[in-house]
Structure 1
Amino acid sequence: MAGKRGFFTFCCLLVFRLMTVAQVQLPVYPDSLFSTYYQQRVSHFKTLPKTTDDIIFLGNSITDGAEWSELFGDSRIKNRGISGDISAGVIARLPEIAGRRPAKVFLLIGVNDLSRNTSPDSVVKNIGLISNYLHEQTPATQVYVQSILPVNKIYNKFGIHTNKSARIIEVNQRLESAADKNHYTYINIHDAFRGKDGLLRPELTNDGLHLKGEGYLVWKHLLYPYVFDLGSKPSLLPLPQSLKWLPGFFPFYKCNSVIADKELANEANIIQQLLKLNGASAIGHDSIGNKLYIELKLTKLKVPRLADEAYHLQVSENCVKIIANTAHGIFNGIQTLIQLLRDNVILDACDITDWPAFAWRGYMVDVGRNYQSVEQLKQQINMMALYKLNTFHFHVTEDIAWRLAIKQYPELTLPKNMTRDKGRFYSVDEVKELQRFCRERHIEFIPEIDMPGHSAAFKRAFHCDMQSDTGMRILKNIIREVCETYKPAYLHIGGDEVKISNAGFLPEICRTVEQYGVKTIGWSPGGNVPQNTIRQLWMKEGPVDKKTKYIDSRHMYLNHMDPLESVTTLFYRMIGDVSAGNNNVSGGEICLWNDRAVNREEDLLTMNPVYPAMLAFAERSWRGGGRPGWTANIISADTSALNSFKEFENRLLDQKEQSFKGLPFPYYRQCNLVWRFYGPYNNGGDREAKFKPETDAFLKDSASFVATGGTLILRHWWYPLVNGLIVHPKENSTWYASAKIWCDTEGYKNFWIGFNNLSRSYATDTPDPGTWDSKGSALWVNGNMIKPPLFKFAGSKGNLESPLIDEGYEYRQPARIYLNRGWNNILVKLPVAGFTGKDSNNPVKWMFTFLPF
């Protein structure tokens, strides 16, 4: 009996294996069915390098006729079109396609089948067979089935093809209906090529079947979001206040005319450069006849608030019009136009009316501690402009170094008076160049001379304190030179984190600045600045004086933020505790204070979430709104709040793909990762103590709560000012978090994993060898414990002059973890002892990051 049971089990396993391995059987066709050209192409394809993760365009002569990789500017795209091919020909060469494990397949086939009088039903069944085979053989491959294009008899060519319009429509309808069942995404490209008569538009073809160059540009526009995993329409950021998508599109590639008011020469030049980049040679300035044109015009535009930056953008099939009250408003409209022009070919028709919620939308860079080249600063300013930030705050003096050239006092920038990046400073010409660069982009350039604090470099140069009589005399000369040389609208005078020994210092400094017609800004909490000085909030203090203007930078320091947390907290943030600017709150400013030394200036953008945070802040400061309080995690209990974040995250990632290729952008999708939390378990001070989630492989207990995200903060180091997931966190407790991750194919995948995102402003210690952190955190995937990274300087004491190397997940090599095909189980252990760090440089961050990408 035992032998029979074993044999029976063996047979069942064999049948099961055969069923799972050979679900889809491909028919075998004789070679005589296919042309000589077909066989030439197939033999050529087989000899090409066996690369994986490509994007394959598969089809007949219509696909064969394009230079797809050049059209899309992407070498991953491979043309596998064969002139004259039919669905059977695609089936016959399908194993070679599947063997390459492509990332995507774009299939267009069927018109030649119909010309041979193959029934629509048979065409649809063959296409379903193709998709199902690819789904089985290479499940990670995304299959896109495109509708058959319309045809036209007008040229009296390809008569057996161009008389099949009715059957083409029937096949397309069936393909759309069968998409889900056959594991493909259906793309309707037919309608965009169809004229009012339902036939292929004559201007896109010269034979009624195949496409001319313009036809391929239209095709590119339709496929662009699918090729690059983007939204079906351009993902504008910040989202305009009013946006209506309209039918039709404007063929930007055919336009060569710009009409602009004479006051808009700078803005007209931006449009002209865009047109030239897209092939326009001679740029005209009229709209005679049917000529396509772009118009920039100053006029009266009524909006609810901040009319100086508002604009109205209208895209139709014949023209693009941007109107505004000021050149700044026109410029903002152009930035939206640039985002609309994501494929550099076509603009979707739309109507946009837009204005900002806050007048002050700023970004501050501390170049006193870590010098940045003018080129890298310009890169950041360019991104500010694209996303409509309008204030560049240049913090240029510090204890470490004074980096602003002062002609009267060259000793300030001598290498011996700097303790880091010695000899690196900004000349008058470089600062003026940055000013010009900002001015062209309608960005206010605001220098900061920090006084009387953060001034050790000043003291090294002059051997006196700023608050002394000698120090004040020198500072007044410096202020005169800065104000007369650069003529800024504002000068930030710092004024915080220092003992004021001379009560008259800050009032006198502010009066000196203001006598040159320059407004002053000071940090708050800070010193005794006059009431008319704008306060930049950096701590708990909020707007209390109705006669004072404020800029909000509280909990907006990027150097303290985990990359994933930064997007979350800034997205939900209510700037200045108001939904829109008012007489007290002008707006807000994100700040990059990287106290710790870096090896390369690029590390400032890699180790800090500058660009993802900049975009989240751009959205909130332009749109307004937000939620009261400071949020560290994705809000998943409120469906509306979760959905709004998901929608924003889609646009954020589209912008990452569109505008940040080759630039540091430490952010990946996190809102699809759902965690179940179990606890709290009292560990009695024993962080290694094991509890049920760790010992019971089939845990059936109800979760204490559910949360969403890639970074989860249980207790923020600024609790209770910033709340984490645990409402009432307790010392000597352990929590567990579990999640499931689906994987289409087994193999090693990349992960971000971390348990203590180090601030770039503290001298935090590196975890001891063999540990993730000092709390005893642990992680298992499918029951296998994941080892911590081999930190290069494990167990070393933090030092601000020792650059970070691999301590953060976002700037070390990603963890490589083997996943099974199907669902994979994740378990995270999160013990904690106390909430008081051993010193101020080592705060307790009760958090973890786990994110596949």
Structure 2
Amino acid sequence: MLRYFWILLFSLNVSAQVSKTSRPALIPLPNKIEWGKAQFNLKSYKKIVITDAKLRGNAIVLQEYLRSKGVKIPIVSENKDKLPAIILETSSIASQEAYRLDVGPKAIQVKASGDAGMFYGIQTLKQLVGNANKIGECHIEDAPAFAWRGYMIDAGRNFMPMDLLKQQIDVMASYKLNIFHFHFTEDIAWRLESKLYPQLTNPETMIRNKGQFYTQNDLKELIAYCKARQITLIPEIDMPGHSAAFKRAMKMDMQSDSGLLIVKKIIKEFCATYDVEYLHIGADEVKITNKNFLPEVTALIEQLGKKVIGWEPGGNFTESTIRQLWMEGATKVSTNPNIKYIDSRHLYLNHMDPLESVATIFHRKIANLDKGNSVALGGIICMWPDRRVNIPQDVFTQNPVYPAMLAFAERSWKGGGLEGWQANIGLKGSAEAITFSEFENRLLVHKKLHFGNIPFPYVKQCSTTWKLYGPYENGGDLDKRLDPEFPGFDANKMKPTLTAIGGTVVLRHWWAPQVKGLLETPKENTTWYAVTQIWSDENKIQDFWIGFNNISRSYASSSPKSGTWDNRKSAVYVNNELIPPPAWKQAGMEGDLEKPLVDEGYEFREPTKIQLKKGWNKILVKLPIASFRGIDWKNPEKWMFTVVPWR
């Protein structure tokens, strides 16, 4: 079975090269790469040579991949006949995750000091293989900027079957992510088998996906699956918060004396059952009524040989607890040299639409640092599908899981990024927009080659340039027509207030000023207009992604009302023709976390079909707003728009 999944993994990782002459689209891009001019055929290399028996596991991984490419070669311990070979070699490179890779006519050499570095070198080698099994001459020296490069999935609220969990782990491995944070207990349901307390997973204790949980063998299998791919699985048992399912099953609160005794028995059972280094205890969003709960739980877990992780802000942790930062107010821990931490601030994928997510994460400076250190371990992007989904696959169609994962793989490996939290690609001509465009080109190659049958909600957006005009005072009248809507307005002659790049442009984020939108000083009761032109070679119907209201999957946001795009009366015109909004399937439905979304997001509904004429087509977007405060906390105002050809 394990061998089958390896074959599946490496069959997905085909060439990252679009033609014989182009260079491979590597993600993450190595720190140092020097290209030669020559191209070599994989079949010219006659064997895999390992200089150390400990390298055999990685050699088998490579051998299986080559076999999937139609190249069958043996693994040997020496190269006596000096034939061209692929040589895996242990070398005294400083970092366990670092590697060096050389491609030449006589040998492909991968050198590393540890298993992880060798594994990552092989991932890069796979991406180097081009059309017709060609590989280009090159020299690569590479190592990650951050030690922890992670992804979290919440399977407590919406159960995720094992095959989909393994799919996510496979993608992580291909792009050198190394932390799989598995969140499986929640208010909604407790989804891990306990032999001591089987009532925890009784169907009647669950609000969704009743009776669906992970057996002890399931979790053991996932831990092993991760280890084989150089990934550390971090399990999370949330305590004492997010524990309503525990209370329903055990008829008591976790923080009661009896509840704490049961929790301790569960922890002992867990630590005796699973071979893991860490146990995440959550401990956020809860009122601590028993001040001894977390110190006693922490002491027990550490006594049992595990390291403790908790959310920050959270409970009354000890300094030995690794903190996972989830909001900006948590930055106080970064000034304490005794506390290790992981950055997950504004890295929740369920708060982002697809085009925004890739730009935001690509620009992100993890832990506000260019690279990690002994306390700033790295970052974890998080997928919280708080709202009920109809089927597990909806998590991937309604959220930018894989596009964001690849963007985070690049950023967490390379380090760097921009100061602050950016929501846009950048202004036209800016350094950040140019850099992002280069990454987007590589991202789209990977989408085409590796995600043909896997949801990957992302399209090219760097070719879309907007001229923005405003602000125009609207006096609170969202219907008010202003200069750009009248025939005398010519965007080709009028100097824009701003220019921006992207299919999605965020004027003001709901978390302003922490998250920066395009406008430096946005004002209420104003209207902005955005104008662009799109070329068409012929008269045709073109599919578009259009949206104005990104519904976070953490809020019980209401569906748009019938006949509207959003509650701001946003509008879009193509060649002066008003484009009608979709006929919403749940028009005007009041928000409810137990009512799944079906078509509210542009990324998971049918694209809008628009008639284009041959030649240039003018697109005008109207963006009025009254108040920055939403009608209630469940419906925050994210002043934004998405208009981009879908192809």
Instruction: Give the match for residue 607 of structure 2.
Output: 814
Q: Indicate conservation of the 8 Å contact 1:748/1:819, yes or no.
A: yes
- What code does the residue aligned with 2:188 have? I
Instruction: Give the match for residue 70 of structure 2.
Output: 279
Instruction: Give the match for residue 375 of structure 2.
Output: 584
Matching of residue 658 in structure 1 with residue 446 in structure 2: no
Q: State which of 420, 434, 442 in structure 1 corresponds to 2:208.
A: 420
Instruction: Give the match for residue 706 of structure 1.
Output: 499
Segments of 5+ residues of structure 2 without an aligned counterpart are: 1-10
Matching of residue 505 in structure 1 with residue 330 in structure 2: no
Q: State which of 458, 471, 482 in structure 2 corresponds to 1:691.
A: 482
Cα distance in structure 2, aligned partners of 1:250 and 1:401: 54
Segments of 5+ residues of structure 1 without an aligned counterpart are: 1-72, 74-219
- What code does the residue aligned with 1:579 have? D
- What code does the residue aligned with 1:258 have? I
Instruction: Give the match for residue 837 of structure 1.
Output: 630
CA deviations 1:149-193 (Å, max 9, x no partner) are xxxxxxxxxxxxxxxxxxxxxxxxxxxxxxxxxxxxxxxxxxxxx
Instruction: Give the match for residue 310 of structure 1.
Output: 98
Going from structure 1 to structure 2, the CA distance change for 1:785 and 1:637 (only over 3 Å counts) comes to: closer
Using the TM superposition, give the Cα deviation of residue 294 of structure 1 relative to its aligned residue in structure 2, in angstroms.
1.1
Identity of matched residues, %? 52
Cα distance in structure 2, aligned partners of 1:695 and 1:406: 68
Cα distance in structure 1, aligned partners of 2:467 and 2:444: 26
Using the TM superposition, give the Cα deviation of residue 743 of structure 1 relative to its aligned residue in structure 2, in angstroms.
1.2
Instruction: Give the match for residue 29 of structure 2.
Output: 239
Q: Indicate conservation of the 8 Å contact 1:495/1:523, yes or no.
A: yes
Cα distance in structure 1, aligned partners of 2:305 and 2:477: 63
Using the TM superposition, give the Cα deviation of residue 821 of structure 1 relative to its aligned residue in structure 2, in angstroms.
1.2
Instruction: Give the match for residue 296 of structure 1.
Output: 88
Matching of residue 567 in structure 1 with residue 358 in structure 2: yes
Instruction: Give the match for residue 754 of structure 1.
Output: 547
Using the TM superposition, give the Cα deviation of residue 292 of structure 1 relative to its aligned residue in structure 2, in angstroms.
2.8
CA deviations 1:799-847 (Å, max 9, x no partner) are 1111110000000011111111111100000011111111111001110
CA deviations 1:70-93 (Å, max 9, x no partner) are xxx9xxxxxxxxxxxxxxxxxxxx
Using the TM superposition, give the Cα deviation of residue 637 of structure 1 relative to its aligned residue in structure 2, in angstroms.
5.2
Using the TM superposition, give the Cα deviation of residue 658 of structure 1 relative to its aligned residue in structure 2, in angstroms.
1.9
Using the TM superposition, give the Cα deviation of residue 271 of structure 1 relative to its aligned residue in structure 2, in angstroms.
1.0
- What code does the residue aligned with 1:291 have? L
Using the TM superposition, give the Cα deviation of residue 546 of structure 1 relative to its aligned residue in structure 2, in angstroms.
1.8
Cα distance in structure 2, aligned partners of 1:328 and 1:441: 9
1:205-604 matches, within 5 Å, as: 225-226=18-19, 232-260=22-50, 261-281=52-72, 283-285=74-76, 286-289=78-81, 291-302=83-94, 307-343=95-131, 345-540=133-328, 541-542=330-331, 543-604=334-395
Cα distance in structure 2, aligned partners of 1:318 and 1:802: 61
1:126-165 matches, within 5 Å, as: none
Cα distance in structure 2, aligned partners of 1:390 and 1:347: 27
1:21-100 matches, within 5 Å, as: none
Cα distance in structure 2, aligned partners of 1:520 and 1:800: 31
Going from structure 1 to structure 2, the CA distance change for 1:364 and 1:284 (only over 3 Å counts) comes to: closer
CA deviations 1:593-652 (Å, max 9, x no partner) are 010011111110111100010011111100000111000011125632221111111111
Instruction: Give the match for residue 558 of structure 2.
Output: 765
Instruction: Give the match for residue 178 of structure 1.
Output: none
Cα distance in structure 1, aligned partners of 2:347 and 2:314: 17
The Cα RMSD (Å) is 1.6
- What code does the residue aligned with 2:405 have? M
Cα distance in structure 1, aligned partners of 2:85 and 2:162: 36
After TM superposition, the score normalised by the length of structure 2 is 0.95
- What code does the residue aligned with 1:565 have? E
Cα distance in structure 2, aligned partners of 1:476 and 1:250: 59
- What code does the residue aligned with 2:43 have? Y
CA deviations 1:262-319 (Å, max 9, x no partner) are 11222111111022223344624253435332111111124xxxx0100001111122
CA deviations 1:510-537 (Å, max 9, x no partner) are 1111011100000000100100100000
Tell me the SS of whatever aligns to 2:395: helix
- What code does the residue aligned with 1:793 have? Q
Instruction: Give the match for residue 632 of structure 1.
Output: 423
Cα distance in structure 2, aligned partners of 1:804 and 1:516: 43
Q: State which of 785, 808, 811 in structure 1 corresponds to 2:578.
A: 785
- What code does the residue aligned with 1:591 have? C
- What code does the residue aligned with 2:633 have? S
CA deviations 1:642-695 (Å, max 9, x no partner) are 211111111111111121111111111111111011111111111000001001
Q: Indicate conservation of the 8 Å contact 1:740/1:824, yes or no.
A: yes
- What code does the residue aligned with 1:837 have? G
- What code does the residue aligned with 2:148 have? W
- What code does the residue aligned with 1:251 have? N
Cα distance in structure 1, aligned partners of 2:168 and 2:379: 17
Tell me the SS of whatever aligns to 2:516: coil
Greater RCO (Cα-Cα under 8 Å, separation 6 or more)? 2
Going from structure 1 to structure 2, the CA distance change for 1:284 and 1:722 (only over 3 Å counts) comes to: closer
Q: Indicate conservation of the 8 Å contact 2:39/2:136, yes or no.
A: yes
1:159-198 matches, within 5 Å, as: none
- What code does the residue aligned with 1:294 have? I
- What code does the residue aligned with 1:415 have? P
Cα distance in structure 1, aligned partners of 2:481 and 2:119: 60
Cα distance in structure 2, aligned partners of 1:819 and 1:614: 34
Q: Indicate conservation of the 8 Å contact 1:250/1:318, yes or no.
A: no
- What code does the residue aligned with 2:251 have? H
Instruction: Give the match for residue 721 of structure 1.
Output: 514
Going from structure 1 to structure 2, the CA distance change for 1:300 and 1:224 (only over 3 Å counts) comes to: closer
Instruction: Give the match for residue 4 of structure 2.
Output: none
After TM superposition, the score normalised by the length of structure 1 is 0.72
Going from structure 1 to structure 2, the CA distance change for 1:342 and 1:437 (only over 3 Å counts) comes to: farther
Going from structure 1 to structure 2, the CA distance change for 1:814 and 1:767 (only over 3 Å counts) comes to: same
- What code does the residue aligned with 2:63 have? Q
Tell me the SS of whatever aligns to 1:309: coil
Cα distance in structure 1, aligned partners of 2:640 and 2:432: 22
Going from structure 1 to structure 2, the CA distance change for 1:269 and 1:344 (only over 3 Å counts) comes to: farther
Instruction: Give the match for residue 5 of structure 2.
Output: none
Cα distance in structure 2, aligned partners of 1:780 and 1:225: 36
Cα distance in structure 2, aligned partners of 1:457 and 1:563: 32
Cα distance in structure 2, aligned partners of 1:756 and 1:339: 37
- Could you list the structure 1 runs, at least 4 aligned residues long, displaced by more than 4 angstroms after superposition: none
Cα distance in structure 2, aligned partners of 1:423 and 1:633: 42
Tell me the SS of whatever aligns to 1:336: helix
Cα distance in structure 2, aligned partners of 1:523 and 1:746: 54
Using the TM superposition, give the Cα deviation of residue 725 of structure 1 relative to its aligned residue in structure 2, in angstroms.
1.2
Matching of residue 607 in structure 1 with residue 398 in structure 2: yes
Q: Indicate conservation of the 8 Å contact 1:298/1:327, yes or no.
A: no
- What code does the residue aligned with 2:620 have? L
Q: Indicate conservation of the 8 Å contact 1:256/1:284, yes or no.
A: no
Instruction: Give the match for residue 740 of structure 1.
Output: 533
Cα distance in structure 2, aligned partners of 1:809 and 1:256: 50
- What code does the residue aligned with 1:240 have? P
